[in-house]
């Protein structure tokens, strides 16, 4: 399906890559100078909904640039124009509700790198779309790098075929500990009371179990959450049979507050995890924000992260089914 050409103009941006014949991200700009207002944009999206959705799946990332998107309210209108249902974020990132479907992206310290991940990868349901809007671009750093996940699987299979198949066959086990209080100064984010939305440990445990996880209470009142088994790779409908690196081994392996092993407890060799981190970085597409950008990511196909940033930086998010 081709766009008529009169609703968007295809543009370019720094850092774009061509992956398997597709440009990432695909940049869409206003077709004419007087069509950069939000009302025109919203009607263009509504008119071309199916096409727009297919472009996101085909190119994995679509950037709307050059439109006059000025506020969370504008952003919310754009999100609603797409017609996808909202999916409520669950996870460790401290986020604040801004307006209707719009939240702040991770409010963890800007000086820290938020490591590459598929959104909500450890849960049973994941958003199909992660949509980000830049209200205040960072003066330096603060890129949102993203990685075609299937490339990571391809390269890991080339270098470590046996290890990959063993991890795939056995499945993975992760743990993380949530502290017994709110500690916003660290990337561990919220204490378990806030993370699980209750001051009652029995209720917190019930909620942890409902998410398909186990709780182990620690002497200091914190909780260790055990997540197993989980898959190493996944293949999703409509994505060319690509085997996505749908796990968070590199992000959680061997950390002070988290771990990743095979589901039967077998250690994952350290050099395999280290090399995987290098491959992810090599395949990364560094995306630099400009004010008013709206970036659509296919969460089934891309890992994304956030590079350390100088303040101020304000990026808002909506997640969709
Ligand atoms: Fe994220």
What string of H, E and C letters represents the secondary structure of 238-295? Answer: CCCCCEECCCCHHHHCCCCCEEEEECCCCCCCHHHHHHHHHHHHHCCECCCCCCCCEE
- 173 prior amide bond cis, ω within 30: no
Q: Are residues 59 and 115 in the same domain?
A: yes
- The chain-wide mean pLDDT, for the chain, equals 94
CA dihedral 196, 198, 203, 209 (to 10 degrees): 0
Least confident range of 57-66, 119-128, 228-237: 119-128
Residue 16 has pLDDT above 70, yes or no: yes
Q: Is the domain of 221 the same as that of 295?
A: no
Question: 122 and 25 in one domain?
Answer: yes
- Span from the CA of 314 to the centroid of ligand 1 (angstroms): 14
Gap from CA of 33 to ligand 1 centroid (Å): 33
Taking the centre of ligand 1 as the mean of its atom positions, its distance from the CA of residue 245, in whole angstroms, is: 15
Confidence band of 40 (pLDDT split at 50, 70, 90): very high
Q: How far apart are the CA of 70 and the centre of ligand 1, in A?
A: 22
User: Same domain for 188 and 173?
Assistant: yes
Q: pLDDT-based confidence at 1, cuts 50/70/90?
A: very low
CA distances to 40, 69, 187, 279, 284 from 119, in Å:
30, 24, 16, 20, 16
User: 3-state class of 195 per DSSP?
Assistant: helix
Q: Is the pLDDT of residue 22 over 60?
A: yes
Whole-number Å distance, alpha carbon 319 to ligand 1 midpoint, is 10
Q: Are 186 and 258 in contact (CB under 8 A)?
A: no
Distance CA(99)–CA(86), nearest Å, equals 13
97 DSSP β-pair partners = 103
Distance from Cα 235 to the centre of ligand 1, integer Å:
20
User: In Å, how far are 27, 87, 107 from 97, measured between CA atoms?
Assistant: 28, 14, 12
Distance CA 15, CA 21 (A): 16
Q: Is the pLDDT of residue 210 over 70?
A: yes
pLDDT-derived band at 314, boundaries 50, 70, 90? very high
pLDDT category, 275, cuts 50, 70, 90? very high
Instruction: Identify the residue whose tokens are 């066959």.
Output: 169
Number of domains in the chain: 2
**217 is a domain residue:** yes
Q: Which two tokens stand for residue 219?
A: 């002497």
Do 49 and 76 reside in the same domain of the chain? yes
CA of 4 to the centre of ligand 1 (A): 33
Note the pLDDT of residue 38. 98
The reported pLDDT for the residue numbered 224 is: 96
Predicted local distance difference test score (pLDDT) of residue 184? 56
In a shared domain, residues 189 and 106: no
Q: Verify that 130 and 175 share a domain, yes or no.
A: no
- In the reported structure, the alpha carbon of residue 122 is separated from the centroid of ligand 1 by a whole-number distance in angstroms of 12
244-262: average pLDDT: 97
Q: Are 215 and 297 in the same domain?
A: no
DSSP strand pairing (223-230 vs 172-178): antiparallel
Q: What is the pLDDT of residue 195?
A: 83
- Residue 209 structural domain: 149-281
pLDDT digits (tens, 9 = 90+) for 132-172: 999 999 999 999 999 999 999 999 999 999 999 999 999 99
- Residue 6 CA to ligand 1 centre (angstroms): 33
Q: The whole model's pTM is what? A: 0.94
The enclosing domain of 299 has a CATH number of 3.60.130.10
């Amino acid at each position: 399906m081709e766009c008529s050409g009169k609703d968007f103009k295809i543009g370019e941006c720094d850092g774009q890559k061509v992956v398997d014949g597709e440009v990432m991200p695909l940049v869409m700009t206003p077709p004419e100078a007087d069509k950069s207002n939000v009302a025109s944009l919203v009607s263009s999206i509504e008119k071309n909904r199916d096409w727009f959705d297919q472009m996101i799946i085909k190119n994995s990332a679509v950037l709307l640039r050059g439109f006059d998107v000025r506020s969370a309210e504008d952003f919310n209108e754009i999100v609603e124009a797409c017609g996808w249902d909202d999916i409520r974020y669950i996870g460790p990132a401290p986020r604040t509700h801004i307006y209707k479907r719009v939240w702040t992206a991770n409010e963890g310290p800007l000086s820290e790198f938020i490591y590459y991940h598929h959104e909500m990868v450890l849960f049973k349901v994941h958003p199909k779309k992660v949509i980000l809007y830049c209200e205040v671009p960072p003066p330096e750093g603060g890129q949102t790098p993203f990685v075609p996940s299937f490339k990571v699987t391809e390269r890991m299979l080339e270098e470590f075929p046996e290890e990959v198949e063993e991890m795939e066959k056995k499945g993975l086990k992760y743990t993380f500990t949530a502290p017994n209080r709110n500690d916003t100064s660290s990337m561990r984010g919220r204490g378990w009371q806030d993370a699980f939305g209750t001051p009652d440990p029995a209720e917190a445990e019930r909620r942890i179990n409902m998410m398909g996880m186990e709780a182990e209470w620690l002497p200091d009142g914190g909780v260790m959450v055990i997540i197993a088994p989980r898959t190493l790779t996944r293949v999703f409908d409509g994505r060319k049979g690509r085997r996505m690196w749908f796990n968070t081994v590199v992000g959680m392996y061997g950390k002070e507050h988290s771990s990743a092993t095979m589901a039967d407890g077998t250690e994952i060799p350290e050099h395999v995890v280290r090399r995987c981190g290098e491959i992810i970085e090599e395949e990364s597409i560094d995306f630099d924000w400009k004010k008013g950008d709206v970036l659509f990511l296919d969460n089934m196909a891309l890992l994304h992260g956030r590079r350390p940033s100088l303040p101020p930086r304000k990026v808002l998010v909506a997640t969709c089914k």
